């Protein structure tokens, strides 16, 4: 497993002052940017232009999570906009291997996300093509949702597959991650954690990042 990374989501931040909100989390490993198109998920957020402005305003790497249809066509634009890491949903990609290679060729880290009900097993063979695998622990679309414990066995199976293949692919979880749930995810084998509400509802978001990191490190197998 890689080292523990905390990647706060700005979905729960103040959209009118995102530059200032990102400045409140200097301890973040990456900033998780939720891109939604109101088709793949019932919500609408940022596009490439907004992401480009964010990338210019911070030195923290951006991790774009594309909850959009037709990921094959749109994902490479987010690398061009300045994202260090781009995550597409396998349910929205027609050619995930080709897309992962295009993202990498453009200079980004390629990541693939699975909704809670999407099994990991059919994708075992393409894990070496990925820099990161994202297991959603809520249905994507809105922040502040309750963590789904039913996803824990899938995190364990994904970790076992990654270990079996000996790949350095990071295992990220997103959805309802808090001081309470991060320990369960870390025990199951995740090493990258997206936390939205937990970070931005805290009085001191950066101190919460440090607490989450410590909790995950203590719980690792």
The residues spanned by each domain of the chain are 5-219
Q: What is the pLDDT of residues 18-54, one digit of tens each?
A: 999 999 999 999 999 999 988 888 888 888 999 999 9
| Catalytic residue status for 34 | yes
| Catalytic residue status for 29 | no
- Check residue 161 and give its pLDDT: 97
- Check residue 75 and give its pLDDT: 95
Selected catalytic residue, list 37, 131, 174, 191? 174
Is the domain 5-219 a CATH 2.160.20.10 member? no
- Check residue 160 and give its pLDDT: 97
Sheet with 192-194: list strands edge to edge: 5-6, 192-194, 170-174, 132-136, 109-114, 85-89, 62-67, 31-36
- Check residue 43 and give its pLDDT: 86
- Check residue 12 and give its pLDDT: 85
Question: What's the rounded Cα separation, in Å, for the pair 38 and 34?
Answer: 12
Residues of the chain with pLDDT under 50: none
- Check residue 44 and give its pLDDT: 82
SS3 content of the chain, % helix, strand, coil (to 5): 45, 20, 35
Residues 6+ apart with CB under 8 A from 105: none
- Check residue 184 and give its pLDDT: 96
At 61 the three-state DSSP class reads coil
Q: What is the pLDDT of residues 98-119, one digit of tens each?
A: 999 999 999 999 999 999 999 9
Q: Rounded to whole angstroms, what are the CA distances from 210 to 85, 94, 100, 118?
A: 22, 38, 31, 31
Selected catalytic residue, list 29, 34, 37, 191? 34
- Check residue 155 and give its pLDDT: 98
């Amino acid at each position: 497993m890689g080292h523990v990374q905390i990647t706060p989501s700005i979905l729960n931040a103040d959209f009118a002052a995102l530059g200032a909100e990102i400045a409140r989390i200097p301890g973040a490993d990456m900033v998780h940017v939720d891109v939604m198109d109101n088709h793949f998920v019932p919500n609408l957020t940022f596009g490439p232009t907004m992401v480009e402005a964010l990338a210019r305003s911070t030195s923290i790497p951006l991790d774009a999570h594309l909850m959009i249809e037709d990921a094959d066509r749109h994902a490479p634009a987010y690398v061009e906009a300045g994202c260090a890491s781009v995550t597409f949903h396998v349910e929205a990609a027609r050619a995930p291997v080709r897309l992962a290679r295009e993202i990498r060729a453009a200079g980004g880290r390629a990541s693939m996300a699975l909704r809670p009900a999407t099994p990991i097993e059919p994708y075992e063979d393409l894990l070496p093509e990925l820099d990161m695998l994202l297991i959603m622990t809520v249905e994507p679309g809105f922040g502040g949702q309750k963590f789904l414990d039913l996803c824990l066995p899938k995190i364990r199976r994904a970790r076992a597959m990654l270990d079996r293949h000996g790949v350095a692919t990071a295992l990220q979880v997103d959805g309802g991650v808090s001081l309470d749930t991060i320990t369960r995810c870390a025990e199951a084998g995740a090493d990258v954690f997206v936390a939205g509400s937990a970070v931005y509802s805290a009085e001191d978001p950066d101190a919460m990042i440090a607490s989450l990191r410590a909790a995950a490190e203590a719980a690792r197998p």
